[in-house]
Chains A and B, each alone.
Chain A
């Protein structure tokens, strides 16, 4: 069983600098064809300072930093047992190429269902940019299946 003492635990922050090339690669990988996500002129015409990060992109911050894996080690969840249960984003302002985003997560809940066959960990995070403006809030539910 995952130790419920981790509820409330603040996790190490992750910082990700958004690069045009990475954002274009992400847009291509999801089949995004709107030029706002790949063409600088189109992005600026749409009112963005630079290429905008698509809605789910900031999930990359903790993957790139290794913190997503570090959390699994902390909670002793083996990769083969991991499932992504839920994901949510609340948006406050755009994140664009050139921005440096810092994600600060904490564990907000741990519970189980089906007599412990499924364990759930809820993580919430705030993402701020280099001006310390709130960009987005993230909510993740990871599942360990036994």
Chain B
């Protein structure tokens, strides 16, 4: 049983690195998430939209970012997560998710870790900046 009650400011969450984004991943995520926007799965549509290629759904990156959290703490302890999509994740990008305990705060009467989150590609470019609150129970 994981216990998080000893989480400390500055502590880094175990990182999560994903396989390179490919078209199969995007097709599966389109179906599973319900986001059928063709800009993510149809290169002809993407090019007409002025993009060089299909690109990853923002919500795929956010789902990966949340996997970083739930591999550290049970999802039941997740109180809040926010993501700002800072840049497009292209086919071929290798995304790494990172998180660090930024502070321990009281949130609705619960002791929570505020986690600063990011996902970045193999070139070190941030794709998502985020934060989360995880109850320390």
Query: Using a CB–CB distance below 8 Å, which chain A residues touch chain B?
Result: 22, 25-26, 28-32, 34, 36, 46-48, 52, 54-57, 59-60, 63-64, 79-91, 94, 139
Known: A55-B70, A56-B59. 7 other contacts (CB 8 A): A30-B60, A32-B67, A55-B75, A60-B35, A63-B33, A63-B35, A89-B81
**What's the minimum C-beta distance from B68 to chain A, rounded to whole angstroms?**
11
Q: Select which of A30, A31, A48, A87 is within 8 A of B82 by beta carbon.
A: A87
User: Which positions 21-67 of chain B face chain A at CB distance < 8 Å?
Assistant: 25, 28-29, 31-39, 45, 48-50, 57-60, 62-64, 66-67
Give the distance in Å from the alpha carbon of A71 to the alpha carbon of B88 in the complex. Answer: 23
A49 and B57 CA atoms in complex are apart in Å by 30
B129 smallest CB distance to A (angstroms): 10
Known: A64-B34, A80-B48. Contact between A29 and B28, CB under 8 A? yes
| Given A22-B32, A31-B18, residue A83 in contact with residue B85 (CB < 8 A) | yes
Complex contacts, A87 vs chain B, CB 8 Å: 58-59, 62, 82-83, 85
Q: How far is the CB of A144 from chain B (nearest CB, A)?
A: 13
Interface residues on chain B, number (Cβ under 8 Å) = 41
Which residues on B sit within 8 Å (CB–CB) of A139? 82
**B78 neighbours in A (Cβ, 8 Å):** 55, 91
Alpha-carbon distance A64/B34, docked complex (angstroms): 6
Residue in contact with B63 in the complex, picked from A56, A64, A90, CB distance below 8 Å: A56
Residue contacts A-B, CB under 8 angstroms, 21 given: A25-B32, A29-B33, A30-B29, A32-B67, A34-B70, A52-B75, A54-B70, A56-B62, A56-B66, A59-B33, A60-B33, A63-B35, A80-B50, A84-B59, A84-B85, A85-B84, A88-B83, A89-B80, A90-B80, A91-B79, A94-B75
Q: Which single member of B29, B39, B76, B84 contacts A86 (CB below 8 Å)?
A: B84
In the complex formed, the residue of B with least CB distance to A46 is B74
- Identify the closest chain A residue to B80 (Cβ): A90
B79: chain A residues within 8 A (beta carbon): 90-91
Taking CB atoms, residues of chain A closer than 8 Å to B60 are 30
B83 & A86 in contact (Cβ 8 Å cutoff): yes
Chain B residue numbers with a CB within 8 Å of A28 are: 28, 32
Known A60-B34, A79-B37: A31·B67 in contact at CB below 8 Å: yes
Rounded to whole angstroms, the CA-CA distance of A84 and B78 in the bound complex is 23
Asked whether A29 and B75 contact (CB < 8 A) given A87-B58, A87-B82, A88-B83, the answer is no
In angstroms, Cα B81 to Cα A86, docked, is 11
